[in-house]
Amino acid sequence: MTGLVVIAAATLTLSAPAQPTEPVSIDDRLSAIPDAPKLADAPERYLAVFEIDEDDVVAKHVRDEEAGRLGLMCWDRVTTLFPVWARRRIVQFNVQEGTRWAGQFDGSGTNDVGRRGYRLSVAAYLLAQEDELGDPDRPVDARRGTLDWTLVHEIGHYYCLVTDAIERFSRRFDARPGMPERREAPDDYPQDGSPLIEGDFVTSYAERTPGDEEVVETFTTYLLVPELPKNDSLVAEKIGFFGGVRGMPALRKRIQGLGAE
Ligand SMILES: [Zn+2]
């Protein structure tokens, strides 16, 4: 929940103490965020641009109203999945046009808000096809191609960067002698996008793409699968690596607890 919502709710309660508080609509929340002229210089591919300060959306530039609404609901999901300490230096969040990328994390540090930090983008098409987007507390779905997979994967690029997990994972697995060969076009992964929790690699993408992408796919698997593997396969060891990364067990507990009664 944003600070803006808290202020609005408190004002309502003061002016009409006997009335139940109406939930604040997405449209009202969107229009309460100040428009920032500096964000108008952001790349044209962004349909909605938000400046983020910890849990708060402090400024916006909206080129497409529907993308603005979808983006605000998506940001609610981000703050539900990840507490501030796990995404503190993400200072810009965008809804992006096109279908080439489901999501993007810009690790270069380039952004449009004028503060140090990173920008995160999610494709509008992915938000539009999410049935429960308005319910930020919904349970997670551990399959590639979903919004949750995309969000956790992209924030994984940030978290694995700031915790040095990319470097440590690569040293432990890629540099070790006798590691399995990567196939360029594996076609025997589950069609529904579920990650593998035995074998050598969690997903086809992880097998095809060494370095950051395999690390982040394995990060996503650690956080999203309902049961962690207990077998002695290489992939179980890779997933288990994240149990030793700072903050990860607490993140997993938070994410797996979503939607519980
Ligand atoms: Zn990636």
How many of the other CB atoms lie within 10 Å of CB of 109? 10
Distance 153 CA to ligand 1 centre (A): 6
pLDDT higher than 70, residue 80: yes
Distance 177 CA to ligand 1 centre (A): 26
Rounded Cα–Cα distance for residues 39 and 4 (Å) = 20
Strand partners, 133: none
Q: What percent of the chain lies above the pLDDT cut of 70?
A: 92
Average pLDDT of the chain, as a whole number: 93
Distance 10 CA to ligand 1 centre (A): 40
End-to-end CA distance of the chain: 20
Residue ranges in 35-146 assigned as alpha helix (H): 65-81, 124-128
| pTM: predicted TM-score of the whole model, two decimal places | 0.90
> What pLDDT does residue 175 have?
85
Distance 89 CA to ligand 1 centre (A): 18
Rounded Cα–Cα distance for residues 131 and 11 (Å) = 32
> What pLDDT does residue 2 have?
47
Distance 31 CA to ligand 1 centre (A): 32
Q: Which of 39-53, 170-184, 219-233 shows the lowest mean pLDDT across its residues? A: 170-184
Taking only the tens place, the pLDDT of each residue in 4-38 is: 544 444 444 455 555 667 789 999 999 999 999 99
Taking only the tens place, the pLDDT of each residue in 169-218 is: 999 998 889 999 999 999 999 999 999 999 999 999 999 999 999 999 99
> What pLDDT does residue 208 have?
96
Distance 213 CA to ligand 1 centre (A): 5
Distance 157 CA to ligand 1 centre (A): 7
Closest to 200 measured CA to CA, from 167, 226, 232, 165: 232
> What pLDDT does residue 22 have?
77
